[in-house]
Amino acid sequence: MSVRQRRSDKQSAEAENNSVNGADAALAAALPSLSRRALSGTLKGAANLANMFPSGTLLVFQILIKVFTNYGVCNSVTRLTTLVLLFLFALYCFLACFTDTVKASDGKIYHGIATFKGLWLFDYSPVVDTSKTTLPDLTKYKLSMIDFVHAFLSLHVFFAVALRNDNVLTCYYPKPGHETKEVLDIVPFGIGFICSLLFLVFPTTRRGIGYPLTP
């Protein structure tokens, strides 16, 4: 083999190595971008999941559930009162999805509940408030299918959170079997994951009572 052929083979090998290294570098550069996108989507889903409840709802629930369940040591009476508490919290989370807030021309915030005709404000009175106050078009806030979707998702997520509470579990399942324990460990996470995906697919612009306001 001549020297010229050896140089040609060496140059071809170096060119091939450079192309492989370039592809690896491009792939390495693309991976962080994909990771950032995945992380951004995950964080957005987690944020939507956290915003499914009015502010302070979970904190109040965590405090009251300890008292109502006697820290997990339940009898027939405490089981009934705990069931009533769970029902009231679930009802509140469900109905809160149909509430909304509007800002008037004077900067005041008014709250209301959505109807099929528009938003009905329960803390606004045209007789008491001055005539200079101008409200936005309330018919734009009428009920839609998204409101019912979010209400049912919020309901499911609340029960998923309740199932992950140790006091609730020990109250109704003091000695769960192996299969029951596996179901109680897996189902709440599955519900939370599915609901977070559905919240990404079906976003809402409502800011009900207790929800954080956005500018």
* pLDDT at 69 (0 to 100): 93
Residue 101's DSSP bridge partners are 111
Residues 29 and 62 in one domain: no
Residues 25 and 67 in one domain: no
Residue 37: which domain range? 1-50
Has residue 124 been placed in a domain? no
Has residue 103 been placed in a domain? no
Q: Which residues contact 143 (CB under 8 A, 6 or more apart)?
A: 98, 114, 115, 116
Q: What is the per-residue pLDDT across 107-126, written as a single tens digit (0 to 9) for each?
A: 788 889 999 999 998 877 76
Has residue 107 been placed in a domain? no
Q: What is the per-residue pLDDT across 53-80, written as a single tens digit (0 to 9) for each?
A: 666 788 889 899 999 999 989 999 999 9
Q: At what angle do helices 145-163 and 178-201 cross, to 10 degrees?
A: 150
Residue located via tokens 């409200």: 135
DSSP state at residue 100: E
Residues 58 and 42 in one domain: no
Instruction: Classify residue 111 as exposed, middle or buried by CB count within 10 Å of its CB (0-12, 13-18, 19+).
Output: middle
- What global pTM score does this model have? 0.69
Percent of the chain with pLDDT strictly greater than 90: 21
Has residue 130 been placed in a domain? no
Residues 160 and 195 in one domain: yes
> How many structural domains is the chain composed of?
2
Structure tokens at 27: 């792939």
Residues 41 and 7 in one domain: yes
Distance CA 138, CA 178 (A): 53
Has residue 169 been placed in a domain? yes
Q: What is the per-residue pLDDT across 155-166, written as a single tens digit (0 to 9) for each?
A: 988 888 898 899
Residues 154 and 69 in one domain: yes
Residues 158 and 212 in one domain: yes
